[in-house]
Chain A
Amino acid sequence: GENVEQHPSTLSVQEGDSAVIKCTYSDSASNYFPWYKQELGKRPQLIIDIRSNVGEKKDQRIAVTLNKTAKHFSLHITETQPEDSAVYFCAAPRAGSQGNLIFGKGTKLSVKP
């Protein structure tokens, strides 16, 4: 089945710097890759997603890139702010499933002011 590996598990950056989180997946048929942000004690919320027919998608300070050949996708946050501090999860569809997502183990991002 699908296996999603995410790294790093923790990331600390200075305010204004960029942050990059990477995920790899195993099922070459996967075609949808979302990123969720979870603040402490809160629900996970979708921040950006990408489908396999594009290589990059951008939304203001957030971008996601996809390399289908290498089977990895990355989240890029530029000009980080303290409110970006949270746990970020990548996900990919579970192979052969009828619609559930397999999540990475998460990256705890800390942005220091």
Chain B
Amino acid sequence: NAGVMQNPRHLVRRRGQEARLRCSPMKGHSHVYWYRQLPEEGLKFMVYLQKENIIDESGMPKERFSAEFPKEGPSILRIQQVVRGDSAAYFCASSQEQMPDTGELFFGEGSRLTVL
């Protein structure tokens, strides 16, 4: 059973470009979460999705950031018109059931975005 798969692992973008980060949850998991981690800092919640639904996007910046989890395919975190401050590691996690009722949060290896 493959774990949470994220790609790309490393992404370099120039200011103003778009970044697309993809996440495939563990098999059988229908709950996906995106977290952002700045260097030397903790994990900041961004968004929680189930298939075709955004459940909680309270951690998402109001502009330039969007997320989706379509019926088919991976979850995608999209950052438009990137700025240097977007440089961070973006971690996707999945769970089988809604947290924290059961189970644990399984994290992917992260996508490290560098904005030049």
Interface residues of A (CB under 8 A from B): 6, 31-32, 34, 36, 42-46, 49, 89, 93-94, 97-106
Contact = CB atoms under 8 A, between A and B. Distances in A.
A98 B44 CA distance: 16
B94 to A, nearest CB: 12
A36 B59 CA distance: 20
Given A93-B99, A99-B55, A100-B33, A43 B42 contact: no
B52 interface: no
Contact of A99 (B41, B43, B99, B107): B99
B102 to A, nearest CB: 10
Given A44-B91, A98-B56, A105-B41, 5 more contacts: A43-B107, A46-B105, A89-B42, A99-B100, A100-B99
Contacts of B72: none
Contacts, number: 64
Contact of A100 (B42, B45, B108, B109): B45
Q: Is the interface of A mostly helix, strand, loop or mixed?
A: strand
A52 to B, nearest CB: 10
B104 interface: yes
B25 interface: no
24 contacts: A6-B42, A32-B100, A34-B104, A36-B107, A42-B109, A43-B108, A45-B107, A46-B104, A49-B104, A93-B100, A94-B45, A97-B48, A97-B56, A97-B58, A98-B48, A99-B55, A99-B56, A100-B45, A100-B56, A100-B59, A102-B45, A103-B35, A103-B42, A105-B41
A90 to B, nearest CB: 10
A98 B109 CA distance: 24
Contacts of B48: 97-100
B42 A101 contact: no
